[in-house]
Structure formats: structure tokens, C-alpha cells
């Protein structure tokens, strides 16, 4: 008997639109120009943590039932994830060729060649010094690949029978997620008095960019999918959770320096992200708003936007094409629009065709009868 297809969760795709754009603005804007939204833009790094948690949730949402039944073909799953991830990742590296001389000047000879070898293999994230080698956002692909490797076993965990014990386990994972940041604050290994988004230190790099410190977020997302199964889609509880999640998230970000950067960078926000996801996975006013077709359309390209925005921004501005076209007066807004348009083109002209070809060549059919979900899951499980 075949596993039924999970329903599409379009609202989460719409939310991905905002999360991906927030990362773009975090990298290439002055948050102070966004008024009351300045704290959200200034904490754009939190959107990456959200994507990692959402990835765990959506993979479990689509594949946990099959994994629990022992019907998830692990090899096909890994092949499918590779075909989903690698085409745009490779494109981002090819577009980053101009960064090679800069990377060579920034690293020792040995570390430079380590980066040149490990980055195409999606392994650079395990070494903090080269985690952002060539393309800054690409470090997350190292993390995602390592999480894909263990996901089939995580997804096969027995379905929880009771609400409260499962919440307690999730709280334990949350505490584990906070632990690296808390240890950094207590031990202060880099000797930075007040770390923030602009600070640099060896241990801070490890905290921010390595797969180890973000694993708890992914596991929390996998466990969240089990919690999602216990709450009816139309329950009013979902709406209240979403309202509390958005309000709590904005409040914490608004508090700014009061909340230690090492904590808010990842683990602290897990429960709030979870509340928002549960809300938008249901049927309510918020999910209807985030599920509007234009948001879903852009959200489908959020992985392309996330992975390509850094290198494309540099190409646009280093080439001075806006000046030559006399469009620089409309910058940065025209650059933001161009990045979104190029991401959509990359999705339809590169990612999807390449994915289809690779799946045919590798024999990587869908590992489960999942739909083509409009969110970060099944085939859309990255940013």
C-alpha cells in the first residue's frame, strides 16, 4: 500500500520569500533605513537558522511516515537531495571565480588549497577558517548535506504517542541548541567583550558557520513535524501560536544588544520559529495571507536567491552595468529586483532542468511519493 501524498503547505513557501529577502537586505542594506523593521533586517542571520529548522520539519513532514514504515530508500533519498542541491551550488561556485585571488591572499597556501578542494565537495563548512570560502552563504550547504546524511535515521523515530512527553524532548533539544552559544558567552574564547554581527574570532566563526552548532535546529524541525501531526489543521491553536511566534520574535529582535548575539544567532529562537511553522502549516488567516500566489511564486526560487545573491550582487556592482545603463539612481532597489528576477530564471533555466537530467542519469527517482511541495521540503528542502 503506497504512502499518501502530504498536502502542499503554500504558506511556508510564502514565508520563505520574506526570509530569503531578509538575508539579502542583511548583507546589502543599511538596516536603519527600514524604520521599525530595522531590528529584523539587522538580525537577518536568524533567517538562516529558520531555514535549517524548516528543512528538518519539511523533510520529516514528507518522509517520516515512509521512514517509520521502513520504506524509505536511503540511497535514492541521498541521490535526490544531491540532484536538488548541487546544480545551483555549482553555478554559485562558477560565478565566484573572481574571488579566487582574494581567497588566496586571505589564507595560507595550505588552507587556500584545502578550501579549493573541499568547497566543491560541500565540506568547507567543517573548517571554520574556510567555511565561507568563495561564496559566503554556501557554508550552509555543508550543514544541509551532513543533516541529509543522518535524516533517514532521525525520520524513523517512533511516532510520539503523547503531547507532553514530546514537548519535553523538544525542550531538551532546544537547550542543547542554546548550549554552544551559552558556552561561548561564559568562556569567551575569542576575548571579544561584546560580540555582534561584525565581530570576528576563530571560535565565533565555528559557532556561526559549522554544521555542529546548527544540528539541534534541524533535529528540532524533525521533531516539530511529529508535533504537527497531533494538531488538527484547522485548529485555532495554530493561529494563536503563529501570532505569539511573530510577536515574540519581533520583541526579541527589537531588544537588540540586550540579548547576547551568541544566543540569538541560532538556538534561542527555535520555539518561536516552531510556533510560526505550526501556524502556517494549518488553515487560518495567516496561512492564507502567506500563501498568496505571488509570494509562493517567488518563494519557490528562495534557494536560488539565497545561494546566488552574494555573488550576483558583486557581479552587478563590480561591472558598473547600472551606471552604464543610467539606472544607478534607482539602486539599491533595482538591484534587489534584479536579484529576485535572476533567481527565478535560475530556478527554471538551471535548477529544474539540471535536476531532471541528474535524476534520470543517477536513477534518483523520488524516494517517497511526496508532492512537489511549495516549501522547503521534499524537493525544496534548502533555503
Q: What is the mean pLDDT of residues 75-99?
A: 95
DSSP string spanning 131-159?
TTSSSGGGHHHHHHHHHHHHHHHHHTSPP
**Number of domains forming the structure of the chain:** 1
Give domain status of residue 52, yes or no.
Answer: yes
Per-residue confidence (pLDDT) for residue 256, from 0 to 100: 81
Average per-residue pLDDT in the chain? Answer: 92
| Separation CA 294–CA 315 (nearest Å) | 27
The 3-state secondary structure of 4-69, one letter per residue = CCCCCCHHHHHHHHHHHHHHHHHHCCCHHHHHHHHHHHHCCHHHHHHHHHHHHHHHHHHHHHHHHC
Q: In which band, very low, low, confident or very high, does the pLDDT at 104 lie, cut at 50, 70 and 90?
A: very high
| Separation CA 338–CA 316 (nearest Å) | 9
Give domain status of residue 2, yes or no.
Answer: no
Domain, as residue range, for 298: 10-25+48-362
Per-residue confidence (pLDDT) for residue 383, from 0 to 100: 64
Residue 376 CB-half CA count within 13 A: 30
Q: How far apart are the first and last CA of the chain?
A: 33
pLDDT tens-digit series, residues 152-188: 999 998 888 889 999 999 999 999 999 999 999 999 9
Give domain status of residue 339, yes or no.
Answer: yes
* Per-residue pLDDT at 377 exceeds 70: no
Q: What is the mean pLDDT of residues 65-77?
A: 93
* Per-residue pLDDT at 374 exceeds 90: no
Q: In which band, very low, low, confident or very high, does the pLDDT at 7 lie, cut at 50, 70 and 90?
A: confident
| Separation CA 248–CA 263 (nearest Å) | 15
Is residue 195 classed as helix, strand or coil in its secondary structure?
A: coil
Give domain status of residue 32, yes or no.
Answer: no
Q: Which residue has the cell 512537489?
A: 372
CB burial of residue 363 (10 Å; 0-12, 13-18, 19+): exposed
Q: In which band, very low, low, confident or very high, does the pLDDT at 375 lie, cut at 50, 70 and 90?
A: very low
pLDDT tens-digit series, residues 218-244: 999 999 999 999 999 999 999 999 999
Per-residue confidence (pLDDT) for residue 265, from 0 to 100: 85
Q: 133: alpha, beta or left, given left = phi > 0 and alpha = psi -120 to 50?
A: beta
| Separation CA 1–CA 70 (nearest Å) | 13
Query: Do 373 and 381 contact (CB within 8 A), yes or no?
Result: no
| Separation CA 382–CA 380 (nearest Å) | 6
| Separation CA 220–CA 278 (nearest Å) | 13
Q: In which band, very low, low, confident or very high, does the pLDDT at 145 lie, cut at 50, 70 and 90?
A: very high
Give domain status of residue 55, yes or no.
Answer: yes
Q: What is the mean pLDDT of residues 101-125?
A: 96
Per-residue confidence (pLDDT) for residue 382, from 0 to 100: 54
> 3-state DSSP helix/strand/coil percent for the chain, to nearest 5?
75, 0, 25
Give domain status of residue 182, yes or no.
Answer: yes
Per-residue confidence (pLDDT) for residue 161, from 0 to 100: 84
| Separation CA 125–CA 133 (nearest Å) | 9
Per-residue confidence (pLDDT) for residue 371, from 0 to 100: 37
User: What pTM does this model have?
Assistant: 0.92
Is residue 282 classed as helix, strand or coil in its secondary structure?
A: coil
* Per-residue pLDDT at 62 exceeds 70: yes
pLDDT tens-digit series, residues 189-212: 999 999 999 999 999 999 999 999
Q: In which band, very low, low, confident or very high, does the pLDDT at 376 lie, cut at 50, 70 and 90?
A: very low
Give domain status of residue 1, yes or no.
Answer: no
> Percent of the chain scored above 90 by pLDDT?
87
CA Rg value for the chain: 20
| Separation CA 323–CA 3 (nearest Å) | 55
Query: Do 55 and 147 contact (CB within 8 A), yes or no?
Result: yes
Give domain status of residue 228, yes or no.
Answer: yes
- Helix (H), strand (E) at residue 357: helix 352-362
pLDDT tens-digit series, residues 265-275: 878 999 999 99
Can you say whether the dihedral through the CA atoms of 194, 250, 303, 344 is positive or negative? negative
Amino acid at each position: 500500500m503506497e504512502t499518501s501524498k502530504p498536502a502542499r503547505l503554500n504558506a511556508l513557501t510564502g514565508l520563505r520569500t520574506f526570509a530569503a529577502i531578509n538575508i539579502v537586505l542583511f548583507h546589502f542594506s543599511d538596516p536603519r533605513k527600514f524604520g521599525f523593521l530595522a531590528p529584523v533586517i539587522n538580525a537577518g542571520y536568524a533567517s538562516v537558522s529558520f531555514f535549517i529548522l524548516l528543512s528538518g520539519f519539511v523533510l520529516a513532514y514528507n518522509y517520516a511516515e515512509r521512514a517509520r514504515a521502513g520504506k524509505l530508500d536511503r540511497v535514492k533519498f541521498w541521490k535526490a537531495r544531491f540532484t536538488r542541491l548541487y546544480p545551483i551550488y555549482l553555478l554559485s561556485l562558477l560565478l565566484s571565480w573572481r574571488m579566487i585571488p582574494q581567497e588566496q591572499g586571505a589564507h595560507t597556501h595550505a588552507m587556500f588549497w584545502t578550501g579549493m578542494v573541499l568547497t566543491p565537495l560541500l565540506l568547507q563548512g567543517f573548517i571554520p577558517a574556510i567555511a565561507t570560502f568563495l561564496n559566503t552563504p554556501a557554508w550552509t550547504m555543508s550543514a544541509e548535506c551532513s543533516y541529509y546524511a543522518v535524516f533517514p535515521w532521525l525520520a524513523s523515530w517512533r511516532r510520539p504517542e503523547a503531547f507532553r512527553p514530546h514537548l519535553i524532548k523538544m525542550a531538551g533539544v532546544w537547550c542543547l541548541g542554546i548550549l554552544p552559544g551559552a558556552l561561548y558567552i561564559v568562556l569567551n574564547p575569542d576575548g571579544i567583550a561584546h560580540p555582534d554581527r561584525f565581530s570576528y574570532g576563530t571560535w565565533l566563526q565555528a559557532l556561526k558557520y559549522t554544521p555542529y552548532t546548527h544540528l539541534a535546529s534541524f533535529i528540532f524541525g524533525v521533531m516539530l513535524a511529529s508535533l504537527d501531526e497531533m494538531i488538527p489543521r484547522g485548529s485555532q491553536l495554530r493561529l494563536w501560536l503563529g501570532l505569539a511566534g511573530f510577536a515574540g520574535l519581533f520583541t526579541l529582535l527589537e531588544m537588540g544588544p540586550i540579548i547576547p548575539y551568541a544566543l540569538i544567532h541560532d538556538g534561542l529562537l527555535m520555539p518561536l520559529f516552531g510556533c510560526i511553522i505550526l501556524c502556517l502549516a494549518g488553515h487560518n488567516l495567516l496561512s492564507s495571507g502567506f500563501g498568496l500566489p505571488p509570494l509562493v511564486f517567488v518563494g519557490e526560487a528562495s534557494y536560488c536567491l539565497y545561494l546566488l545573491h552574494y555573488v550576483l550582487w558583486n557581479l552587478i556592482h563590480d561591472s558598473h552595468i547600472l551606471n552604464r545603463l543610467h539606472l544607478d539612481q534607482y539602486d539599491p532597489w533595482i538591484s534587489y529586483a534584479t536579484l529576485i528576477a535572476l533567481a527565478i530564471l535560475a530556478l527554471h533555466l538551471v535548477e529544474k532542468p539540471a535536476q531532471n537530467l541528474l535524476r534520470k542519469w543517477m536513477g534518483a527517482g523520488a524516494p517517497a511519493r511526496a508532492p512537489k511541495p511549495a516549501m522547503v521540503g521534499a524537493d525544496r528542502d534548502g533555503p
